Chain A
């Protein structure tokens, strides 16, 4: 592997600029003549916009324009789209309520923009916004998913009667019913998967710059996928044709899914820049982030599992209500369907599964993919249910899982997914050993003598990542293909630039992607740079989400590397008067195997560009590109076990130990992988113990600041004990599965299983706040 190759714990190249404050974020960019946007947002969850009087604001100092929803609609900027078509069980397409970038007539959630002030400075824009008088007629609102589907509930969209987006099913209902009819035992569970606010460290921001002479736009934006943003802005929002729109996503401070989507603010900035003839900048503040970044999760589910007399699962029935908020965000429709229900088999052999998912509009912030997207909801449900079953059937929870593990691969589940490989016993064993599962009973007794309630909780998760084969997702309704592209440029002096369609917003691509090059060529990573995040530099890309950058993006780089190496070998063979088949690459040199004849990479590169002496017919230059489309999803899986204590006086949870045994396939940089797992686990623990985006019955957000919304802090989480049990992914040449979401997918169930074990009561919703745990302990 070499000191900087695959498997090496290389320190992150990008950290120097991040740690020294030299990162280049959108808000750091200042353009000549730049104006500033401030949005006027609805304070009501549901209201008619009867009029907007901007006359006073327009007279204020520094105000350039006040633009409204009516104008953006009149200018034919397209409504926001949802890019994954879902069909209901009755064959009807999902019901899309129109979502203009600013509301001309009706607002449907607190924070929805109705107008924007463009001014010479941010503060002047903010001052003027207070002088814009918006006349609202309040309408009844509904925030809760159960309340929204009741008859007589306030209706959000004329297109969606009963507030229903879709009623979708998967699996074989007849076979599942038959399994339940014959079951020896049936275990039932109701769970709520709490709504979360993603809270990336950097709030969203955009700068739009329209060049009237060229009729060309440049957009700097906080995006996980700038090419997808350009595609959508061009093809659906009528901003400009693709060649007249450049999208740049420079350093981005975290996304967690929330920066996949194209939001109204970017659209408005582009449109406004053309209208006012100057660059327009918008940087959201934290409150705007809470109100307008797509939220995550928010499911209410009833599930039942059938077991035979040997405790083998024979059937699984699930009914889920998914709260989509007021509008369908870009990929929202796929989250509770193809990213959730297709994972309901978990790590288990389940012959029959049937799931029904009802998507619902409510007067809340739109909900879309958030770290894990659908898979945390599936994993939480299955793993809570397995624990509940173990308690009900009076068997050890680890044993019950073992009894039902899938052990033969490939394995076709009844819900589309075909697992390629894995060793679920290995990760369960590793985790049980790491936490000394066998010694738990003694530790529990010891804790009891000190007045503490100790519990242990297991969670065996599986996820589908590397999203994913274009043909497969296309057949399920996706509007895009999910391949990745790469280009390898060897410069005339032998330095290397890798252009990738993956986007790094904290994942460390600038290091890991270089490690592949170092591994193959034996050059130091300092000789390699990664270029990403600019549609003018990189020809195309699908971006970063679904733990796909290594499995898909890095494989595309590998494919381009192979092409480049093949050409370079021809040049080397020609220069060394050897046969191409005898050339090997080592330590930055092309060698004739078994001899001391060699030519260094820079000399090969120089030869390629001087073109004085190339093999006959060869084109000059040393630059290759590739598109890679995977053949399957990848299936990272593992076991998390958490041991904790509950203080019966306060209901407060304290961690004793948290072990993770993950199977991510090949690791490129174990240190970066550990960082990804740490972050994911903290988000999973955050969901289990602290985080909850709450609305009151009228749709007013209750948690729109960090004073109310509890983000996990360092002292809320334990020190993690991580390990890996590896089966290589057969689906890609590097054997990579992906590691970005696992922690967030598997952690919550481990925590809740441990708390419910500690307190001896099974019914406990997330977040398990001290108050909620205390009330559960003391409930009759």
Chain B
């Protein structure tokens, strides 16, 4: 009952058609989420379609004011990519504090956002930077893409092909690491767009997944500096609470991480 058939797709189209043939197919990228879940027998796909070796899903491109990261690019390659470091160093930094070396050598940006773990790092970057998720069917704004805990706008069988980030004027990320898993206990991504808009997104904090933080956005819009956030009050209601952090603590972290992200922003 836990048998599965493994397929290695060589193109996005082939992956989509393989997916359609299986009775309960799953795409596989870095496997850092899917494989543990299968080992625990919490998922039992009939067919596993590996996207990891598809050439068109690999790599980073910088063209004008747009940085595009293909979906199956592993974290390590993002973290060390010269264009990423030049255009949006906050993304290189975010990737460097994501998980541990083993996870960074396997996990992918596409897998991360498809999974949309409420404590994952990348969703905060996408939301704060106003990124666009490209799939084999359409383009989806980050705002529309993330729809709550482990839920996205992806339809069954839809494949993320890339994420495009508008290059900001400034951006920064800071994260309090979960002591056990190293996910974000709370992480805050702050960005100032080239048109002067301020966008702030927090991950790991809210019961409904990655979220914008309007109060901090307003404060930073008025004055882009860490001290501008001093007077902001963040409510603990609706925030996550668990053995590693109370809701009040997470509310505090949203502020403190935002201040540090602003201080680090480049």
A769 neighbours in B (Cβ, 8 Å): 179, 244-245
How far is it, in angstroms, between the C-alpha of A130 and the C-alpha of B176 when the chains are bound? 39
When A694-B243, A775-B246 are in contact, do A123 and B180 touch as well, CB less than 8 Å? no
Do the beta carbons of B243 and A127 come within 8 Å of each other?
no
Do the beta carbons of B243 and A692 come within 8 Å of each other?
yes
Closest partner residue, chain B, to A127 (CB atom): B1
Most buried by B among A690, A713, A774: A774
Do the beta carbons of B256 and A710 come within 8 Å of each other?
no
The count of chain B contact residues (Cβ–Cβ below 8 Å) is 20
How far is it, in angstroms, between the C-alpha of A690 and the C-alpha of B180 when the chains are bound? 8
Query: A770 at interface (Cβ–Cβ under 8 A)?
Result: yes
Query: B51 at interface (Cβ–Cβ under 8 A)?
Result: no
How far is it, in angstroms, between the C-alpha of A774 and the C-alpha of B256 when the chains are bound? 12
B179 neighbours in A (Cβ, 8 Å): 689-690, 710, 769-770
B244 neighbours in A (Cβ, 8 Å): 710, 769, 771
- Per the 8 Å Cβ criterion, residues 251-266 of B in contact with A are 252-253, 256, 259-260
Do the beta carbons of A123 and B246 come within 8 Å of each other?
no
A702 neighbours in B (Cβ, 8 Å): 243
Contact of B252 among A652, A707, A774 (CB under 8 A): A774
Do the beta carbons of A707 and B176 come within 8 Å of each other?
no
A123 neighbours in B (Cβ, 8 Å): 2
Contact of B256 among A650, A703, A711, A775 (CB under 8 A): A650
Do the beta carbons of A650 and B253 come within 8 Å of each other?
yes
Query: A440 at interface (Cβ–Cβ under 8 A)?
Result: no
Query: B249 at interface (Cβ–Cβ under 8 A)?
Result: yes
Do the beta carbons of A649 and B256 come within 8 Å of each other?
yes
How far is it, in angstroms, between the C-alpha of A703 and the C-alpha of B176 when the chains are bound? 20
Q: Mark B222-266, 1 if CB is under 8 A from A, else 0.
A: 000000000000000000000111101100110010011000000
A126 neighbours in B (Cβ, 8 Å): 41
- Per the 8 Å Cβ criterion, residues 637-664 of A in contact with B are 649-652
Q: Mark B22-42, 1 if CB is under 8 A from A, else 0.
A: 000000000000000000010
The smallest C-beta distance from B6 to any residue of chain A, in angstroms, reads 16
Do the beta carbons of B180 and A771 come within 8 Å of each other?
no
Closest partner residue, chain A, to B181 (CB atom): A707
The smallest C-beta distance from B7 to any residue of chain A, in angstroms, reads 21
Do the beta carbons of B2 and A771 come within 8 Å of each other?
no
- Per the 8 Å Cβ criterion, residues 29-83 of B in contact with A are 41
Contact of A774 among B100, B243, B249 (CB under 8 A): B249
When A649-B256, A690-B179 are in contact, do A703 and B243 touch as well, CB less than 8 Å? yes
The smallest C-beta distance from B204 to any residue of chain A, in angstroms, reads 13
A652 neighbours in B (Cβ, 8 Å): 176
- Per the 8 Å Cβ criterion, residues 675-704 of A in contact with B are 689-690, 692, 694, 702-703
Do the beta carbons of A770 and B243 come within 8 Å of each other?
no
The smallest C-beta distance from B79 to any residue of chain A, in angstroms, reads 17
How far is it, in angstroms, between the C-alpha of A118 and the C-alpha of B234 when the chains are bound? 55
Q: Mark A705-731, 1 if CB is under 8 A from B, else 0.
A: 011111101000000000000000000
Closest partner residue, chain A, to B241 (CB atom): A771
The smallest C-beta distance from A776 to any residue of chain B, in angstroms, reads 11
How far is it, in angstroms, between the C-alpha of A639 and the C-alpha of B119 when the chains are bound? 40
How far is it, in angstroms, between the C-alpha of A735 and the C-alpha of B62 when the chains are bound? 69
Closest partner residue, chain B, to A649 (CB atom): B256
Do the beta carbons of B181 and A771 come within 8 Å of each other?
no
Closest partner residue, chain A, to B39 (CB atom): A285
Do the beta carbons of A708 and B180 come within 8 Å of each other?
yes
The smallest C-beta distance from B107 to any residue of chain A, in angstroms, reads 15
The smallest C-beta distance from B136 to any residue of chain A, in angstroms, reads 32
The smallest C-beta distance from B17 to any residue of chain A, in angstroms, reads 30
When A774-B252, A775-B249 are in contact, do A708 and B243 touch as well, CB less than 8 Å? yes
How far is it, in angstroms, between the C-alpha of A375 and the C-alpha of B259 when the chains are bound? 44
Most buried by B among A702, A709, A710: A710
Q: Mark A745-780, 1 if CB is under 8 A from B, else 0.
A: 000000000000000000000000111001100000
Contact of B176 among A690, A694, A708, A770 (CB under 8 A): A770
Do the beta carbons of B249 and A711 come within 8 Å of each other?
no
The smallest C-beta distance from B148 to any residue of chain A, in angstroms, reads 21
Most buried by A among B180, B248, B252: B180
Do the beta carbons of A711 and B248 come within 8 Å of each other?
no
The smallest C-beta distance from B224 to any residue of chain A, in angstroms, reads 19
The smallest C-beta distance from B244 to any residue of chain A, in angstroms, reads 6
B100 neighbours in A (Cβ, 8 Å): 713
- Per the 8 Å Cβ criterion, residues 147-189 of B in contact with A are 176, 179-181, 185
The smallest C-beta distance from B248 to any residue of chain A, in angstroms, reads 7
Closest partner residue, chain B, to A647 (CB atom): B256
Do the beta carbons of B248 and A775 come within 8 Å of each other?
yes
The smallest C-beta distance from A70 to any residue of chain B, in angstroms, reads 27
Contact of A771 among B249, B259, B260 (CB under 8 A): B249
Do the beta carbons of B245 and A706 come within 8 Å of each other?
no
The smallest C-beta distance from A131 to any residue of chain B, in angstroms, reads 9
How far is it, in angstroms, between the C-alpha of A690 and the C-alpha of B100 when the chains are bound? 17
Do the beta carbons of B1 and A771 come within 8 Å of each other?
no
How far is it, in angstroms, between the C-alpha of A770 and the C-alpha of B256 when the chains are bound? 13
How far is it, in angstroms, between the C-alpha of A710 and the C-alpha of B256 when the chains are bound? 23
Contact of B245 among A703, A711, A771 (CB under 8 A): A771
How far is it, in angstroms, between the C-alpha of A123 and the C-alpha of B248 when the chains are bound? 44
The smallest C-beta distance from A713 to any residue of chain B, in angstroms, reads 8
How far is it, in angstroms, between the C-alpha of A702 and the C-alpha of B241 when the chains are bound? 13
Do the beta carbons of A127 and B2 come within 8 Å of each other?
yes
How far is it, in angstroms, between the C-alpha of A711 and the C-alpha of B1 when the chains are bound? 34
The smallest C-beta distance from A203 to any residue of chain B, in angstroms, reads 14
How far is it, in angstroms, between the C-alpha of A123 and the C-alpha of B1 when the chains are bound? 11
Do the beta carbons of A709 and B256 come within 8 Å of each other?
no
How far is it, in angstroms, between the C-alpha of A555 and the C-alpha of B216 when the chains are bound? 68
The smallest C-beta distance from B32 to any residue of chain A, in angstroms, reads 12
The smallest C-beta distance from A57 to any residue of chain B, in angstroms, reads 13
Do the beta carbons of B180 and A711 come within 8 Å of each other?
yes
How far is it, in angstroms, between the C-alpha of A702 and the C-alpha of B244 when the chains are bound? 11
The smallest C-beta distance from A703 to any residue of chain B, in angstroms, reads 7
A707 neighbours in B (Cβ, 8 Å): 180-181
Most buried by A among B100, B249, B259, B260: B249
A713 neighbours in B (Cβ, 8 Å): 100
How far is it, in angstroms, between the C-alpha of A709 and the C-alpha of B179 when the chains are bound? 8
Do the beta carbons of B246 and A771 come within 8 Å of each other?
yes
- Per the 8 Å Cβ criterion, residues 118-164 of A in contact with B are 123, 126-127, 130
How far is it, in angstroms, between the C-alpha of A770 and the C-alpha of B248 when the chains are bound? 13
How far is it, in angstroms, between the C-alpha of A707 and the C-alpha of B181 when the chains are bound? 5
Do the beta carbons of B180 and A706 come within 8 Å of each other?
yes
A703 neighbours in B (Cβ, 8 Å): 180, 243
The smallest C-beta distance from B163 to any residue of chain A, in angstroms, reads 26
How far is it, in angstroms, between the C-alpha of A123 and the C-alpha of B44 when the chains are bound? 14
The smallest C-beta distance from B95 to any residue of chain A, in angstroms, reads 17
B180 neighbours in A (Cβ, 8 Å): 690, 703, 706-711
The smallest C-beta distance from B215 to any residue of chain A, in angstroms, reads 18
A651 neighbours in B (Cβ, 8 Å): 249
How far is it, in angstroms, between the C-alpha of A771 and the C-alpha of B243 when the chains are bound? 9
A689 neighbours in B (Cβ, 8 Å): 179
How far is it, in angstroms, between the C-alpha of A756 and the C-alpha of B55 when the chains are bound? 55
How far is it, in angstroms, between the C-alpha of A676 and the C-alpha of B249 when the chains are bound? 36
How far is it, in angstroms, between the C-alpha of A652 and the C-alpha of B253 when the chains are bound? 11
The smallest C-beta distance from A105 to any residue of chain B, in angstroms, reads 28
Closest partner residue, chain A, to B255 (CB atom): A649
B248 neighbours in A (Cβ, 8 Å): 775
A711 neighbours in B (Cβ, 8 Å): 180
The smallest C-beta distance from B129 to any residue of chain A, in angstroms, reads 24
Q: What 5 A-B pairs have minimum CB-CB distances, sorted nearest first?
A: A710-B180, A710-B179, A649-B256, A771-B249, A707-B181
Q: List 17 A-B contacts (CB under 8 A).
A: A130-B41, A650-B176, A650-B253, A652-B176, A690-B180, A692-B243, A694-B243, A703-B243, A706-B181, A707-B181, A708-B180, A769-B245, A770-B249, A771-B244, A774-B249, A774-B252, A775-B249
Extra contacts, 16 of them, besides A650-B253, A690-B179 (Cβ < 8 A), are A123-B2, A130-B41, A649-B259, A650-B256, A694-B243, A708-B180, A708-B243, A709-B180, A710-B180, A710-B244, A769-B179, A770-B176, A770-B179, A770-B245, A771-B245, A774-B252
